[in-house]
Structure 1
Amino acid sequence: MTIEKRRAPAGAAVLRGDITAAIRRAVMQELAAVGYGRLSIEAVARRAGVSKTAVYRRWRSKLELVLEVVSSVAGQKLPLMDTGSLQGDLTVLLMVMSKALQHPLAAQIIPDLLAEAARNPQIAETLQAALRTHQHHVGELLIGRAIDRGELPASIDPDRAVDLIVGPVYWRLAIARAPLTMADLPELVASIATALGGSMRTSSP
């Protein structure tokens, strides 16, 4: 939790939002460059162009800093456009996911944080909580709409369905480090929809 979220004492200086944003960007860049193990407050401050004091006024430790920043990024809700069909919704979701996972920062940070999560329970719990929030969001919207359209049975488990949707993309991009192109999406979407037991309908133009 950052200091901004706590009640500031009377007369306390107001923390500048632009400095906080610069520090958050610097954390992501440092994680991509050197990983969690070698990341330091000094290096983050230097990259952000601020003093170490500016960092410590907002976060008490390296772990707290990384947990807050990573949690906010991992928990961001993806735009889930209603295309009118399960196939269209899956295509949009996979396009957004593949673009995000193939971003240079994400490609470097995700494997490192997964390795750290195996050693650090606090990192593991933070990542799991953020990803569960994301999973519920996708399940409620994408799977819920497909159920309402009659494309998926009401008995389907939304969380398991989301595992089946995002699993192949995550495995390919974050684990196997194999490319995923636009040309690959139609076949992947069709396979996922078939596995979900959905009847494919094409959205209206």
Structure 2
Amino acid sequence: MTVGKALHDDVTDAISAAFFEELAATGYGRLSVDAVAKRAGVGKAAIYRRWPSKQRMAVELTSSVAVSAIDAPDTGSLRGDVRQFLANARAALSHPLALAIIPDLLAEARRNVELAEALLSSVRDPRRASSGDMVARAIERGELPADTDVELCLDFLAGPLYWRLTAINSEPAPDYLDRLTDKIVAAFRA
């Protein structure tokens, strides 16, 4: 790697970290490119060379983290896949920055149609497609019937843990993920 490339990556990493810290501190509505630049120790031009707008920066940085943070593993069994998905989701959703950022972005998306559409296409859609692949593998293995309602399964998969961690802000018991896995798998099969 050349020095110029390393510096470029360092600047992008600094901007990314500053963006998430600023977003958690101020929320999307009050987030400014100036504040992100100041927090990152760079000029605004460094940000605008990478992203043409605050919204594009928010969507691209959020999607780069959100899509990879909660993957749909292939453990070889439906129960194993669901359990690992939930463990990954819990780790991602329990991060202090995620706890501050996710509810704010969802609220802002209700007010800002353009932001909502961008987040849906760059975060929700790829994550649901990946999770849909997990359900499809279970169907192929014969663990679920061929007529399984995949969309409803995806709602069951994501909803309860998200609700527990972000909406009611309650730390689950140590065996919660195992119990939730059993309930979700039973719901998939119903």
Q: What TM-score do the two structures reach when normalised by structure 1?
A: 0.82
Which residue of 2 is the match for residue 89 of structure 1?
A: 81
Distance 1:95 1:77, change over 3 A: closer
* Aligned 8 A contact 2:69 2:89 in 1: no
SS across alignment from 2:144? coil
Distance 1:81 1:73 in 2: 17
Which residue of 2 is the match for residue 9 of structure 1?
A: none
Distance 1:25 1:102, change over 3 A: same
* Aligned 8 A contact 1:152 1:197 in 2: yes
**Structure 1 position 127, deviation (Å):** 1.7
**Structure 1 position 162, deviation (Å):** 1.2
Distance 2:56 2:129 in 1: 25
Which residue of 2 is the match for residue 114 of structure 1?
A: 106
- 5 Å matches for 1:182-197? 182-197=174-189
Q: What TM-score do the two structures reach when normalised by structure 2?
A: 0.88
SS across alignment from 1:182? coil
More helix by percentage: 2
Distance 1:147 1:45 in 2: 48
**Structure 1 position 72, deviation (Å):** 2.3
* Aligned 8 A contact 2:71 2:130 in 1: no
% identical equivalent positions: 46
**Which structure 1 residue ranges, 5 or more long, are not aligned?**
1-12, 199-205
Distance 2:60 2:21 in 1: 15
Which residue of 2 is the match for residue 136 of structure 1?
A: 129
- 5 Å matches for 1:47-66? 47-66=39-58
**Structure 1 position 161, deviation (Å):** 1.1
1:53-112 residue CA offsets vs partner (Å, 9 max, x unmatched): 211222232222222222322333634433332112111110110110010010000011
* Aligned 8 A contact 1:26 1:48 in 2: yes
**Structure 1 position 189, deviation (Å):** 1.0
- 5 Å matches for 1:24-39? 24-39=16-31
Structure with larger Rg: 1
Distance 1:17 1:95, change over 3 A: same
2:151 pairs with 1:166: no
Greater CA deviation, 164-173 or 72-81?
72-81
Distance 2:159 2:55 in 1: 28
* Aligned 8 A contact 1:71 1:126 in 2: no
Choose the corresponding residue for 2:92, options 95, 100, 124. Answer: 100
